Structure 1
């Protein structure tokens, strides 16, 4: 990086830092703990618009749609937001990453013009991929979409749809050719969640939250204009969506983990416990922290390299996803160990916080989500072995 570029980046950091000091809501963690769904949604939408006004809401989008930041600028932005303990954009996450990436890569001009401005104005999206019998093996989905003139009639069930109870739209995969090979007969739709025949049921989790939902589809009529890409090519389009989940989103999550979660873990380790001891004085604790810091440095570099590469390797996205999810699990597990029995009395966490909120037991329970959605760790290892290392394909059914 040239001296001028470095200077410009430091000027940008100073501007973001000043903005954070002025605009991050005071005491938002307390205000977002134990709140109703309505209060959570209101807070998230207000925070999104505040970020949007500063140009920080969708930095990864193209410039013509309100983004245009370089990878280096995005890293600085996410570092400062994490360092200043800014709320996360939990509610719009699927909208600004998964939906936007799908529209930009495979949507029509009309679809982009309709939905990208709507997302900026607060349109909320969820993802309807997984099913009771098709989780990591997404190609086994059975939700059907039957063409009837200029519409599709959809029937089936979706599972683990994050935030579906608040969503205006859904990225939906459905089978349009039941006789085609598993990956060949799937189509991709932009489903209006207000259509008749849609029922959403929140799923109560072990943490007490209801982040995930079931979606039941009974003769839901979707206009053919809401088909993304060619009919029966939904599997290919879905790779753009999943690429967003394992790509640019990881840049933010890695910085959150390093500049937010790890700092909280160090602070926790430096506190005097009930017995008068300081965990950080224990060489085993210090060694574990050092090891985690090394792993976090590797993760952040890996994410930055991945999103900077115009032609990433066929297994790079899986490497990033696997690395992050299992590091998150190890770090929150260690946080639970250091926090001790007192951590088990924390029954709620701020709804607008990240996966590393500092409520260590709840964070650890939540970390297991990351090793399952978007392809389990086992699936990621298979992809890395086959596509990255060229190992023989794992024996099994048609894929």
Structure 2
């Protein structure tokens, strides 16, 4: 296991800020954007694993984890860390994203001691995870999934297909939902598994996107055996366990993404508006553009404060959905303006740095990618339903006849 540095800071947020700034000055690679633009899959994977190891050695890879597993950083220090990583244009942890957020939150909330001891140290050593939730007929309505898992002695026999599995081609393990009781109401007959991606019977096929990337994959499962020890939580209660996974996507990860948007994406947008367009005028001198920038800056400030408050005190039943919805639709508005201001030049940028996030400065590709955020992990419509029903106490939507 990689021995990470202690993340307990006794010098206060500003002292810690100075520490992180110096670390970034020394360790953030200056040429990573050029090197990662158009890079091969092998180069991307190697770079991501090396960058993750660099962060782990400093104690910066999993600050949100409990102290006993290599985290324990205060919320105030986490905000400082993500602010400085964004301000220094550090690469994002794209490949380990599911590992350090979704897999870890699931294991910590619902895993056994043996499962946590096996996988959390392995994740810190570079174990990569993907997520096998969505299916061709079960996207936002994941409870409609049909992948089956049948108990046979000390293991389950799994058959089915998963879709939109980010990074599955490079994953060692998968968070898998499968139906174990086909007769039960659909949310009550699902179980949650840890799937070894090296098991026989698994076929992973990359999906080529319109942008030329193949970030997503299909996973085909043909009589795949999963030991019963890799069941997370009780059988048929996978839906409840899955809420821990989705809670990480809708909440904890937002802190970093909000700081990236505030310290990376938005300043680049302002800088873009300062440069003269084809007609020689600066977009920033147009009062309508200035008003839109001011509105976006206000919204981003609100998002950052909301995320910090959410991480410090996650108490409301709809808080995670509020944060996810707010970020998703704000990201679209920021990238929409960037694509508009970027004009024809932005249309010619066909590749973005593979280790960047949704705010890479490649405006048209970022705008296209921003729409992803309003779909996975629960669409914006679903988030509004959760906010209305669980947060505001409104009546549940009637079921269709």
TM-score (normalised: structure 1): 0.97
Give per-residue Cα distances to partners, 1:267-307, cap 9 Å, x unaligned: 11111223211111111111111000000011111111111
For 2:286 and 2:10, locate their aligned partners in 1 and report how far apart those are by CA, in whole Å: 39
**Counterparts of residues 158-173 of structure 1 (less than 5 Å):** 158-173=162-177
Please list, as runs of the form range in 1=range in 2, the aligned pairs for 1:151-300 lying within 5 A after superposition.
151-300=155-304
Residue equivalent to 1:385: 388
Q: Say which SS state the counterpart of residue 220 (structure 2) adopts.
A: strand
Find the aligned partners of 2:398 and 2:29 in 1 and give their Cα distance.
53
- Choose the corresponding residue for 1:352, options 355, 361, 374: 355
Q: How far is 1:308 from its partner? A: 0.9
User: Could you tell me which of 100, 108, 114 is aligned with 1:110?
Assistant: 114
Confirm or deny: 8 A CA contact 2:135 2:162 kept in the other structure.
Answer: yes
Would the aligned equivalents of 2:65 and 2:72 in 1 still touch at CA under 8 Å?
Answer: yes
| TM-fit CA distance, 1:7 | 6.2
Quote how far apart the aligned CAs of 1:6 are.
Answer: 10
Matched, 1:363 2:340: no
Q: Distance in 2 between matches of 1:6 and 1:37?
A: 41
* Correspondence for 2:319: 316
Q: SS of the counterpart of 1:247?
A: helix
Pair 1:65-2:69 in alignment: yes
Q: For 1:323 and 1:217, how far apart are their aligned partners in 2?
A: 36
State the distance in 1 between where 2:103 and 2:235 align: 18
Task: Flag the 1:67–1:377 CA change in 2: closer, same or farther, 3 A.
Answer: same
CA distance in 2, matches of 1:397, 1:25: 54
TM-superposed CA distance for 1:388, in Å, is 1.1
SS in 1 for 2:222: strand
Equivalent position of 1:336 in the other structure: 339
- Name structure 2 gaps, 5 residues minimum: 1-8
**Which runs of structure 1 show a deviation greater than 6 angstroms over 4 or more consecutive aligned residues?**
none
The Cα shift of 1:397 comes to 5.4
CA contact (8 A) 2:251 2:321 kept: no
- Paired position in structure 2 for 1:143: 147
State the distance in 1 between where 2:195 and 2:83 align.
35
Instruction: Provide the C-alpha distance between the structure 1 equivalents of 2:309 and 2:143, rounded to a whole number of angstroms.
Output: 30
* In 2: Cα distance, 1:386 partner to 1:62 partner: 31
Determine helix, strand or coil for the equivalent of 1:365.
Answer: helix
Between the aligned partners of 2:34 and 2:333, the Cα distance in structure 1 is 26
Tell me the CA shift for residue 392 of structure 1: 1.2
Residue 249 of structure 1 deviates from its aligned partner by 0.3
SS of the equivalent of 2:43 reads helix
For 1:291-334, what per-residue CA distance to the aligned partner results, in whole angstroms no more than 9, with x for missing partners?
Answer: 00000011111111111115x21111111100000000010000
Question: How many positions carry a matched residue from both structures?
Answer: 393
**SS state at 1:348 partner:** coil
Give 3-state SS (helix, strand or coil) of 1:187's partner: strand
Q: Structure 2-normalised TM-score?
A: 0.97
Secondary structure at 1:201 match in 2: strand
Q: In structure 2, how many angstroms separate the alpha carbons of the residues matched to 1:154 and 1:370?
A: 29
Return the match for 2:329 from 322, 326, 329: 326
